[in-house]
Structure 1
Amino acid sequence: MYLHIGQNEIIPDRRIIGIFDLDKCSYSKRTRDYLTAAEQEGVVLDVSGDIPKSFVVCDHPYHRQIVYLSQLNASTLKNRAESGQLEL
């Protein structure tokens, strides 16, 4: 199955490592350090088109991980992933 994470970006659900709420997680120094390091490595893709509300960490065949910033709430993405349907 696939997950639509916003702005016409669709990712295979088998690649998803985690879906995180950006507001709740950004308070943690470890999360901020992780996102900063990912941005410096060039593996952060902003598909939000606006202010991001969540981020999705995925494995990638050419990188260790890739991070997508999404304008959708983490709970919305979680519900879409659990429904097992392609959400557009």
Structure 2
Amino acid sequence: MFIHIGDDHVIQSKDVVAIIDNSLISSSSIIEEMIHNQRKEKQVIETEDHQAKSIVITNDVIYFSPLSVYTLKKRANMMTTLNKLEDFSEESDF
């Protein structure tokens, strides 16, 4: 399934490694170093207005998202719920 993470970016949910609140960047030197290294490799996609609320880490790219961790979590859970609904709809043969 796919998750819309803001700024016209849609990613596959299976590629998501972590979703982190943007305010936690400064509290972790490991996260800061990872982002710095990925920026060197041009593997970081910033938000258009640079007002990121969360960071979405995938296997290949780090996205800065204008959406909160809570909103992204709800979107991911919504996709899981929709998958379950699709499973039930296939079982009912009329």
| SS of corresponding position for 1:26 | helix
Amino acid paired to 1:13: S
| SS of corresponding position for 1:4 | strand
> What is the match of residue 74 of structure 2?
79
Deviations 1:34-57 (A, max 9, x none): 1111111110011x2221111111
Structure 1 portions without partners, runs of 5+: 60-64
Structure 2 portions without partners, runs of 5+: 83-94
Instruction: Give the aligned length.
Output: 79
Q: Is residue 14 of structure 2 the alignment partner of residue 14 of structure 1?
A: yes
Q: Which of structures 1 and 2 has the bigger CA Rg?
A: 2
| SS of corresponding position for 2:27 | coil
Large movers: runs of 4+ above 2 Å:
none
- Two-structure CA RMSD over aligned residues (Å): 1.3
Amino acid paired to 1:41: E
| Identical-pair percentage | 29
Shift of 1:19: 0.7
> What is the match of residue 35 of structure 1?
35
Q: Work out the CA distance in 2 between the residues paired with 1:24 and 1:55.
A: 10
> What is the match of residue 26 of structure 2?
26
Shift of 1:8: 1.3
Shift of 1:82: 1.5
Amino acid paired to 1:49: E
